[in-house]
C-alpha cells in the first residue's frame, strides 16, 4: 500500500491517514480501478431505473424531513437539490479551520464511495477536484444537531460545488463560482439525490472527531512524561510506578501509563532519596490511573470513529446488490457523540491532573524546598515567577472541565417533531476539540514549569542532568528554545511557542 497516497474507495480510511491528508502530508485521490467505478455506476443506474419505473423516492421526488408528503412535480426535480443547499445555508459561529474542512471533504467522499448513495462518478470526481486543488468551502461550526447528520454545515460543501458559496483558495476568501471559472470548471449540476447524499450524513462530526482523537493520544503521552519530570522535581517516590504493583490491578492501559512514567524516571526504582513521606499525593501517585484510562478505551473510540467514516450513512440508501431502496436513520451520529463525550471527559481529567501537579510545584508547603512560585532569583522579592501562569492554568482547566457535560443528554425535538431525538454529535466533537486545545495550553505551561523546577534543582546541585532518564530528552528539547526564568518577564510568547510545538508533535516521547 502506498504510504504517500490515500486511495479513497480502494482502501479503508484510518484516523492516521485522514489526519495526514488533512495536513497535506499525503495526497488524497479516488481509486481508479474498473471495479470501483463500476460499483459507483451500478448504484447510480439502479436509482435512475427505479425512478423511471416506480418514482416516489424520498428526497428525490418528495420534500425533505416532515415535508416528505409533498410530492415534487417532475419539472422541478432539478430544482429540489439546489433548494436543499440554499435553505440550509444558515450556519453561524466561527468557521472550521482548513484541516477540518479538508478532513470533512475526504470523509464525505469516502462514505459516498461505499457505493450505496446513488451518486455518480462525476460527483465524486468533482469533490476530488476540490480536494486536489485545496478549494476549501467556508463551513460555519454551529447549526447541526447531528441528525439528519450535519445538514447545515455540509450544505456549504454542496453549495460550493454548484458555485453558490464562498471558499478559501490560496489564502483568499472568494466566491466559489469565481474560483471554478478561474480553473476552467463549470459549477456542478446535481443529479437526483446527490445534494441530499452529500448533506445527509455525519462527515463534519466524524472529521472533527478523528482530528480530536489523534491529538488526545499525544496529550496523554506528554502527560506521562510531565508526571515523571514532576515526580523527580518534587523528590517523589519512584516505587509508585513499579511494574509489579500494576500487575496486581491489571488494566492494560493503566499499566502502560505507569510504564511510560517509569521509563522516564532515573534508572533504579528505589526512592530518589530518603522520602519525606511514604506516599506522594494523588496527582502524582495516581497519575497512571487517570492517564491510563485513555489507553484502556482508545481502541473502542477508534473503532467507533473509523467504522463511521467507512460506512454508508445517508438516507435513503440505494443498494444495487439487493435491488432495494432502504429508508433508515444511518445519519444519526450517536456513536460519534458517545466517543467525543467520553474523550473530552478523559482529556479534561488529564488537564486537571496537570493543574494539580503545577499547584504542588509552586507552593512551598508541598514543593520540597523549591522557591515559591518557581522564582529563579530568590534574592529579588519583587519576583513572582509562575504565579500568574498557575492562575491561567487553573482557568484553562476549569473551562475544559465545564465542557465535559455530555452533549447527548441535550437532545432536542426539531423539524416539526420529525427529528424528535437527535444525537448532538457535532456539538460533542466541537466540545472535544475545544477541550483538547485547553488541555494543550495546560500541557504547554506544565512543560515550562517542570523544566523550570528541574533546572532549579540542577543549579542548586541537588540533581544531575544525567540522572533524568528519558525525561532528559524533553528537558533538552525545552532548553533549546526556553530560557530559564530568572527575573519576571511576560511568558505569553514562550507559552505560544510551546503550544505550537505540541500541535506539531515536536516533543519526542
Residue 356 and residue 283 in contact, taking contact as beta carbons nearer than 8 Å: yes
Which pLDDT belongs to residue 149? Answer: 85
Which pLDDT belongs to residue 155? Answer: 96
Residue 419, phi then psi, degrees to nearest 5: -95, 70
Distance separating alpha carbons of residues 507 and 495, to the nearest angstrom: 15
- Within 13 Å of residue 17, how many CA atoms lie on the same side as its CB? 21
* pLDDT tens-place string over residues 161-177: 999 999 999 999 999 99
Distance separating alpha carbons of residues 355 and 378, to the nearest angstrom: 24
Residue 234 and residue 279 in contact, taking contact as beta carbons nearer than 8 Å: no
Distance separating alpha carbons of residues 74 and 57, to the nearest angstrom: 12
Q: Provide mean pLDDT across the span 84-88.
A: 90
Distance of CA 376 to the CA centre of its chain: 37
- Which is it for strands 5-8 and 317-319: parallel, antiparallel or unpaired? unpaired
| pLDDT bucket at 59, cuts 50 / 70 / 90 | low
For residue 69, pLDDT over 70 is answered with: no
Which pLDDT belongs to residue 401? Answer: 98
Q: Enumerate the active-site residues.
A: 58
Distance separating alpha carbons of residues 223 and 233, to the nearest angstrom: 15
Query: What are the beta bridge partners of residue 172?
Result: 169
Percentage of residues in the chain having pLDDT higher than 90: 79
The alpha-carbon radius of gyration of the chain (Å, integer) is: 26
Distance separating alpha carbons of residues 409 and 380, to the nearest angstrom: 53
Residue 13 and residue 110 in contact, taking contact as beta carbons nearer than 8 Å: yes
- Which is it for strands 27-30 and 5-8: parallel, antiparallel or unpaired? parallel
For residue 246, pLDDT over 90 is answered with: yes
- Within 13 Å of residue 92, how many CA atoms lie on the same side as its CB? 1
* pLDDT tens-place string over residues 112-155: 999 999 999 999 999 999 999 999 999 999 999 988 889 999 99
Which pLDDT belongs to residue 356? Answer: 98
Distance separating alpha carbons of residues 218 and 50, to the nearest angstrom: 49
For residue 64, pLDDT over 90 is answered with: no
For residue 271, pLDDT over 90 is answered with: no
The cell numbers describing 469, all together, are 532518564
* pLDDT tens-place string over residues 433-447: 999 999 999 999 999
pTM of the model: 0.94
* pLDDT tens-place string over residues 385-416: 999 999 999 999 999 999 999 999 988 888 77
3 state DSSP class of 258: helix
User: In 10 A of CB 62, how many CB atoms?
Assistant: 17
Residues 6 or more apart whose Cβ sits within 8 Å of residue 303: none
Angstrom CA distances, 188 to 46, 76, 158, 161, 162, stand at: 22, 17, 9, 6, 5
Q: What angle do CA 425, 164, 417 make, to 5 degrees?
A: 40
| pLDDT bucket at 466, cuts 50 / 70 / 90 | confident
Which pLDDT belongs to residue 79? Answer: 82
Ordered domains of the chain (ranges, CATH): 5-201 (1.10.275.10), 208-503 (1.20.200.10)
| pLDDT bucket at 276, cuts 50 / 70 / 90 | low
Q: Provide mean pLDDT across the span 262-282.
A: 71
The cell numbers describing 406, all together, are 455530555
The cell numbers describing 199, all together, are 448533506
Report the mean per-residue pLDDT for the chain: 92
Burial profile 388-406: b = 16 or more Cβ within 10 angstroms, e = fewer:
ebbebbbebbebbbebbeb
From the list 245, 349, 244, the residue with the least C-alpha distance to 287 is 349
Q: Provide mean pLDDT across the span 14-39.
A: 97
User: In 10 A of CB 353, how many CB atoms?
Assistant: 23
For residue 72, pLDDT over 90 is answered with: no
Bigger pLDDT: 273 or 368?
368
- Within 13 Å of residue 197, how many CA atoms lie on the same side as its CB? 28
Percentage of residues in the chain having pLDDT higher than 70: 94
Distance separating alpha carbons of residues 14 and 23, to the nearest angstrom: 14
For residue 478, pLDDT over 50 is answered with: yes
The cell numbers describing 217, all together, are 493520544
Angstrom CA distances, 321 to 35, 46, 115, 350, 475, stand at: 14, 10, 10, 48, 59
| pLDDT bucket at 65, cuts 50 / 70 / 90 | low
- Within 13 Å of residue 143, how many CA atoms lie on the same side as its CB? 21
Distance separating alpha carbons of residues 477 and 454, to the nearest angstrom: 13
Which pLDDT belongs to residue 273? Answer: 54
User: In 10 A of CB 414, how many CB atoms?
Assistant: 16
Distance separating alpha carbons of residues 346 and 290, to the nearest angstrom: 8
* DSSP E strand boundaries for 206-359: 317-319, 324-326
Burial profile 155-183: b = 16 or more Cβ within 10 angstroms, e = fewer:
bbbbbbbbbbbbbbbeeeeeebbebbeee
Q: Which helix (H) or strand (E) holds 92?
A: strand 92-95
* pLDDT tens-place string over residues 355-369: 999 999 999 999 999
| pLDDT bucket at 383, cuts 50 / 70 / 90 | confident
Which pLDDT belongs to residue 86? Answer: 93
Distance separating alpha carbons of residues 341 and 377, to the nearest angstrom: 44
From the list 360, 418, 389, 346, the residue with the least C-alpha distance to 64 is 418
Angstrom CA distances, 441 to 395, 400, 427, stand at: 11, 11, 21
| pLDDT bucket at 268, cuts 50 / 70 / 90 | very low
Q: Provide mean pLDDT across the span 213-236.
A: 96
Instruction: Report the residue count for the chain.
Output: 509
| pLDDT bucket at 469, cuts 50 / 70 / 90 | confident
Amino acid at each position: 500500500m502506498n504510504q504517500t497516497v490515500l486511495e479513497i474507495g480502494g482502501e479503508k480510511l484510518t484516523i492516521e491517514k485522514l489526519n495526514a491528508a488533512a495536513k497535506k502530508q499525503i495526497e488524497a485521490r479516488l481509486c481508479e480501478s474498473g471495479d470501483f467505478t463500476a460499483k459507483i455506476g451500478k448504484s447510480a443506474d439502479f436509482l435512475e431505473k427505479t425512478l423511471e419505473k416506480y418514482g416516489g423516492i424520498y428526497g428525490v421526488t418528495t420534500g425533505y424531513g416532515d415535508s416528505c408528503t409533498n410530492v415534487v412535480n417532475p419539472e422541478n426535480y432539478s430544482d429540489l437539490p439546489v433548494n436543499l443547499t440554499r435553505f440550509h445555508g444558515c450556519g453561524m459561529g466561527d468557521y472550521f479551520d482548513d484541516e477540518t474542512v479538508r478532513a470533512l471533504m475526504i470523509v464525505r467522499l469516502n462514505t459516498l464511495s461505499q457505493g450505496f448513495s446513488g451518486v455518480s462518478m462525476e460527483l465524486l470526481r468533482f469533490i476530488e477536484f476540490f480536494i486536489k486543488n485545496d478549494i476549501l468551502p467556508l463551513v460555519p461550526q454551529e447549526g447541526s444537531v447531528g441528525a439528519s447528520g450535519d445538514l447545515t454545515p455540509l450544505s456549504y460543501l454542496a453549495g460550493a460545488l454548484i458555485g453558490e458559496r464562498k471558499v478559501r483558495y490560496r489564502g483568499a476568501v472568494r466566491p466559489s463560482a469565481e474560483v471554478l471559472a478561474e480553473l476552467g470548471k463549470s459549477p456542478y449540476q446535481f443529479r437526483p439525490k446527490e445534494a441530499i447524499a452529500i448533506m445527509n450524513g455525519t462527515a463534519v462530526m466524524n472529521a472533527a472527531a478523528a482530528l480530536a482523537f489523534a491529538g488526545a493520544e499525544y496529550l496523554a503521552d506528554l502527560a506521562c512524561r510531565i508526571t515523571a519530570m514532576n515526580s523527580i522535581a518534587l523528590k517523589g517516590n519512584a516505587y509508585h510506578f513499579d511494574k509489579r504493583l500494576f500487575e496486581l490491578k491489571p488494566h492494560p492501559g493503566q499499566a502502560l501509563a505507569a510504564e511510560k512514567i517509569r521509563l522516564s524516571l532515573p534508572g533504579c526504582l528505589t526512592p530518589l532519596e530518603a522520602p519525606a513521606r511514604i506516599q506522594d499525593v494523588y496527582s502524582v501517585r495516581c497519575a497512571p490511573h487517570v492517564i491510563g484510562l485513555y489507553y484502556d478505551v482508545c481502541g473502542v473510540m477508534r473503532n467507533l470513529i473509523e467504522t463511521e467514516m467507512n460506512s454508508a450513512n445517508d438516507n435513503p440508501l440505494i443498494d444495487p446488490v439487493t435491488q432495494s431502496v432502504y429508508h433508515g436513520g444511518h445519519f444519526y451520529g450517536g456513536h460519534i457523540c458517545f466517543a467525543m463525550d467520553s474523550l473530552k471527559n478523559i482529556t479534561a481529567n488529564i488537564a486537571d491532573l496537570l493543574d494539580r501537579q503545577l499547584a504542588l510545584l509552586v507552593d512551598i508547603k508541598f514543593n520540597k524546598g523549591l522557591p515559591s512560585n518557581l522564582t529563579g532569583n530568590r534574592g529579588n522579592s519583587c519576583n513572582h515567577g509562575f504565579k500568574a501562569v498557575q492562575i491561567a492554568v487553573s482557568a484553562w482547566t476549569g473551562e475544559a472541565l465545564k465542557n465535559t457535560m455530555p452533549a447527548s443528554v441535550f437532545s432536542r425535538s426539531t423539524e416539526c417533531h420529525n427529528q424528535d431525538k437527535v444525537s448532538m454529535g457535532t456539538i460533542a466533537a466541537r466540545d472535544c476539540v475545544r477541550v483538547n486545545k485547553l488541555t494543550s495550553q495546560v500541557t504547554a505551561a506544565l512543560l515550562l514549569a517542570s523544566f523550570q523546577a528541574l533546572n532549579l534543582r540542577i543549579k542548586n546541585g541537588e540533581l544531575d542532568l544525567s540522572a533524568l532518564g528519558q525525561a532528559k530528552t524533553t528537558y533538552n528539547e525545552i532548553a533549546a528554545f526556553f530560557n530559564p526564568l530568572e527575573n519576571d518577564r511576560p511568558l505569553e510568547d514562550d507559552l505560544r511557542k510551546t503550544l505550537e510545538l505540541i500541535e506539531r508533535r515536536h516533543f519526542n516521547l
